[in-house]
Amino acid sequence: MKDYTISRRRMVEEQVIDRGVTDPRVLDAMLKVPRHKFVEEALAGKSYQDAPLPIGEKQTISQPYMVATMSEALMLDGSETVLEVGTGSGYQAAVLALLADRVFSLERIPSLARRARKVLDSNGFSKVNIRLADGTVGWQDMAPFDGIIVTAGAPKVPQEYLNQLSVGGRLIIPVGDRESQVLMRITRVGETEYKEEKMLGCRFVPLIGNQGWKQEN
Ligand code: SAM
């Protein structure tokens, strides 16, 4: 079995630290999570490259830098309850498992949710809770969340995400059109008050569902 430790260290140094991510807990988590296990075996050799990769069902595992940036933007200290929308491969959820206390993740495609469950369990990330559902309405039963991270591009910010944030909590979400978005951080600064920050341009697959885009045939 190939040892990817050196590839992983180079990924963190060249793609993450060199581009300005500094949170030591995020860097440490990305050094620990075996990214190559979250893609098909045939793509394992490419899994530490500076790019998203296909994971089937026309979906992708996000670029390492994007995972690092979004994780850092949540500003976690390890005590939080976090919701991810878009489990995909399970890689971002595994990184979150090392950064937060409780992790909930929603995926709408059954085969991806099943595969992510398996990979997470076999790599020591059983604490991640996955649910097969339309994540555009959040996960009311588990709310409030100290962090919500949406890993698919939304046409607008679903109201339920704002409602399900705790006061002080942060929502990280790409918002824009189907092809390109702006990554936003929205902080709930009071019961009815939110602060919005634009972070950077990005390209995610669409968030599809009740409060997202319509499925295209
Ligand atoms: N976080 C993932 C990872 O680490 O591999 C990458 C996610 S991929 C870029 C986006 C994912 O969002 C896809 O798996 C897609 O099926 C999922 N998705 C899109 N709309 C969704 C929705 N309404 N609810 C839940 N998941 C959704």
Each residue of 131-149: pLDDT tens digit?
A: 999 999 999 999 999 999 9
pLDDT above 90 for 30: yes
Q: Is the CB of 151 under 6 A from ligand 1?
A: yes
Ligand 1 centroid–CA 191 distance in Å is 29
Q: Among 38, 66, 87, 216, which residue has the most ligand 1 atoms within 8 Å of its CB, making it the best to mutate?
A: 87
Q: Which of 168, 161, 174, 175 lies closest to 193 in space, CA to CA?
A: 168
Strand stretches in the chain, DSSP E = 53-56, 59-61, 81-85, 102-107, 128-132, 145-150, 165-176, 181-188, 194-202
Each residue of 73-126: pLDDT tens digit?
A: 999 999 999 999 999 999 999 999 999 999 999 999 999 999 999 999 999 999
Task: Answer yes or no: 62 catalytic.
Answer: yes
Looking at residue 18, its pLDDT comes to: 98
As a whole-number percent, the residues of the chain with pLDDT over 90 amount to 98
pTM over 0.85: yes
Looking at residue 97, its pLDDT comes to: 98
Q: Among 39, 55, 107, which residue has the most ligand 1 atoms within 8 Å of its CB, making it the best to mutate?
A: 107
Is residue 139 within 8 Å of 164, Cβ to Cβ? yes
Third-level CATH fold of 5-202: Rossmann fold (3.40.50)
Looking at residue 114, its pLDDT comes to: 98
Each residue of 103-112: pLDDT tens digit?
A: 999 999 999 9
Q: How far apart are CA 215 and CA 217, in angstroms?
A: 7
Domain ranges of the chain: 5-202
Q: Is the CB of 139 under 6 A from ligand 1?
A: no
